[in-house]
Structure 1
Amino acid sequence: MRWCCALMLWLCLCLAPLHTQAKSDELNIAAIPFPSSAPLFLAKELGYYAEENLEVTFQFFDAAQPIAIAVANRQAEIGATAFTAGFYNLAAKDTLRVIAAQSREEPGYRFLAYVASTIAWQQGLRRPEELPGHSLGITQIGSSFHLMAGLLAEEKGFDIDEIELVQLERVSRMVEAIRRNDTDATILPFAQARRLENEGSARILGWVSDETPYQLGGIFTSRHMAEQERDTLQRFLRAYQRAAQDYAEAFHDSGEGAPSQKEKDLTALLRNYIEAPPNVIREGASYIDPQGRLDVASIYRQVEWYKEEGLVDPEADPSVFLDLSFVEGHYNVPEELQQGSRGDKAEH
């Protein structure tokens, strides 16, 4: 009996450390349930996080700014959303680190649409460059929608002040404003834009990706996580990159033919997060770099545009919050980041 008890005690002592080592690290990811965040969701559904010993939960929002705040306040470990003036102001205070790319507006990929209300269409609004003299619903001044309007104004040679910007706080209110003809136009993700068009409440004018391609969003974390939890972030990014590669194989250049079996399978998984029919998810699949590589020059240009509008601190410096060491091969990296410690692994 004593021998048995001693053996049991020895086994418990030996196995206890193994149990401790097997405990998963928990990550709370803040995001918007849009196709632009698809690899985040696929990595969970396909078990890639679990394989990296990560237990992931999602916290969903209806606008970009609260996501940046949640990560800066360490209420979430990871954030994924479009870049905004508010994001850049927070990041400039050395609270956030951008570590990878989310979605990019790339020609041929129809994610964000310029949308006209039925009445505005009937009155002659047909193209994005005809927005001057009309009202445009956005979430808020300094939002990514504001930036898209500004980039369009630059590209087409008109002043953004020629557009009446209507702040509606949330994407859901932008949808309703178009449905009620309260604004002449807005910018919406494909699913919402196509739904409005199918019900006869709006018409699609064009695509942001075709007019002003740019780095829409990123994957970011707090400075604390980047400095103190590097191993956890590396495991997260390995899972994310695997899912991004799967997404690219299924949805990039999928064409007009019948969807592949992989595309069908991934679409079914994405419907657990994205409220849209399978064909809408397919048609509105945004471009996502398979390795999570950023167009760094685009981020610099965005910060400059917000500065010109008086919405970002004049001293804001992207080199403070861009940590390019987690992912190799970022695009258009300025010399200062190629030489800096955070950009040592980046490629021009």
Structure 2
Amino acid sequence: MTGITRRGALGLMGGAAALPMLGRPALANTKVVVGALNFTSHAASFVAYERGYFAEAGLDVEFKFFQAAQPMAVAIASGDADYAVTAISGGLISLAEKGAAKVIGGALSEEKGIDGQKILVSDAAYQAGVTTPKALDGKKFGMTQAGSSFHYMGAKIAAAEGINLEYVPLQKVGAVIGALKSGQIDAWSIVPHIAKPLAGSGAVHIIGDLADYIPDYQVTTVFTSAGNAANERDKTAAFLAAFSKGAADFNAALVDKTTSADEAEAMIQLVHKYVYSDKPYDKAKPGIVNGAMRINAEAALNMGSVQDQLSWFKAEGLVKDTVSMEMLVDPSYVKTM
């Protein structure tokens, strides 16, 4: 994708499969900027980098870190990042509709039997009797932006419970955390590596599991510019192959727990370089372990979940009704389900 600046990408938003072998010589030292959040859910990228899988694929990776999903979509469209992993947002869908971005694979997923995202409430709300999702009627639910995954999650909870929520956009995850702890908002839903330490502090309380409301939710996806998807197939396939090797290592060590204790410890130490790196290791370790959710094998993509998300964004008027799955997803790189 060429010719779209960051300002242009923001304007567009407002208008709103087998993988090859690694190490192709033609890709030697190809510079790639990868968008990420400092979340355990992004561990596949971190593992692929730290264990040399990107380098083996001929990719010289640099990470660019963000505080929310929508700015990451802007960076992909403007060329400030080449690949990214985060939740589907209204901004990403609008950019895809304009031919600026494509979802090319799946990453984090809710899976039955594996601890997933939690529904949280502030201590003030909990003490006032908000101890179940049903009791959230009329309460303030935090999100980064309108049209974010948090907006989608809150809406699915509200629809299932037959309640109404007041959505409060706070732009950054850190701001949502602060507002929840101080009682400025009543509720939120987030991945367990953040939810459980917050609940352990006593400042917030867990009152439910998101999987009860959105089973098999494709929480995050891998996406790139439409230009990369269409015209840089070797590079894109190599990125996905390396990413998938990182995901396999992460799943084995911390999700399926099929490795040795030493190997699991090494994985936690690796992730700690990027997640809770401001905390001592012994303080960070429980959150990393508790936050280990499945990252899809070989970046397989749950098309049913993506379709549900797209349908919700369209029904809410957050994206154009004419947006199709073909505009949003390039299914040619990975297995779909």
TM-score tier after normalising by the smaller chain length: 0.7 to 0.9
Whether the aligned pair in 2 keeps the contact of 1:92 and 1:318 (CA below 8 Å) is no
Matched, 1:30 2:35: yes
State TM-score, norm by structure 1: 0.83
Change (3 A) 1:254 1:75: same
> Which residue of 294, 311, 336 maps to 1:330?
336
The number of residue pairs the alignment matches comes to: 306
Change (3 A) 1:193 1:317: same
Q: Which has the higher contact order (CA 8 A, sep 6+)?
A: 2
Residue 309 of structure 2 corresponds to 302
Which structure has the larger Rg?
A: 1
Q: Deviations over 1:208-233 (max 9, x none)?
A: 13431211121111111112211111
The unaligned stretches of length 5 or more in structure 2 are 1-24
Residue 325 of structure 2 corresponds to 318
Q: CA deviation at 1:254?
A: 3.8
> Which residue of 154, 170, 173 maps to 1:171?
173
Q: Give the Cα–Cα distance (whole angstroms) in 2 for the partners of residues 196 and 279 of structure 1.
A: 12
Q: CA deviation at 1:21?
A: 6.4
Matched residue SS, 1:89: helix
Q: CA deviation at 1:189?
A: 2.8
Q: Give the Cα–Cα distance (whole angstroms) in 1 for the partners of residues 103 and 195 of structure 2.
A: 29
**Which residue identity lines up with residue 251 of structure 1 in the other structure?**
L
Q: Which runs of 4+ in 1 moved over 4 A?
A: 20-23
Matched residue SS, 1:104: coil
Matched residue SS, 1:316: coil
Q: Deviations over 1:177-205 (max 9, x none)?
A: 11111111122332332232222211111
> Which residue of 124, 133, 147 maps to 1:128?
133
What is the correspondence of 1:39-58 to structure 2 with a 5 Å cutoff?
A: 39-58=44-63
Matched, 1:289 2:296: yes
Q: Give the Cα–Cα distance (whole angstroms) in 1 for the partners of residues 308 and 241 of structure 2.
A: 29
Matched, 1:105 2:127: no
Matched residue SS, 1:215: coil
Q: Give the Cα–Cα distance (whole angstroms) in 1 for the partners of residues 200 and 158 of structure 2.
A: 28
What is the correspondence of 1:176-215 to structure 2 with a 5 Å cutoff?
A: 176-213=178-215, 214-215=217-218
Matched residue SS, 1:302: helix
Whether the aligned pair in 2 keeps the contact of 1:178 and 1:186 (CA below 8 Å) is yes
Residue 93 of structure 1 corresponds to 98
Q: CA deviation at 1:321?
A: 2.8
Residue 229 of structure 1 corresponds to 232
Matched, 1:219 2:225: no
**Which residue identity lines up with residue 186 of structure 1 in the other structure?**
W
Q: CA deviation at 1:105?
A: 1.9
Residue 245 of structure 2 corresponds to 242
The unaligned stretches of length 5 or more in structure 1 are 1-19, 332-348
**Which residue identity lines up with residue 330 of structure 1 in the other structure?**
T
Q: Give the Cα–Cα distance (whole angstroms) in 2 for the partners of residues 281 and 248 of structure 1.
A: 13
Q: Give the Cα–Cα distance (whole angstroms) in 1 for the partners of residues 120 and 252 of structure 2.
A: 29
**Which residue identity lines up with residue 243 of structure 2 in the other structure?**
Y
**Which residue identity lines up with residue 280 of structure 1 in the other structure?**
G
Change (3 A) 1:99 1:21: closer
Q: CA deviation at 1:93?
A: 1.2
Provide the alpha-carbon RMSD of the alignment. 1.9
Q: Give the Cα–Cα distance (whole angstroms) in 1 for the partners of residues 166 and 102 of structure 2.
A: 34
Q: Deviations over 1:307-332 (max 9, x none)?
A: 111111010011123111111x310x
Whether the aligned pair in 2 keeps the contact of 1:136 and 1:183 (CA below 8 Å) is yes
Matched residue SS, 2:297: coil
Whether the aligned pair in 1 keeps the contact of 2:109 and 2:294 (CA below 8 Å) is yes
Matched residue SS, 2:137: coil
Change (3 A) 1:119 1:50: same
Change (3 A) 1:21 1:106: closer
Matched residue SS, 1:323: coil
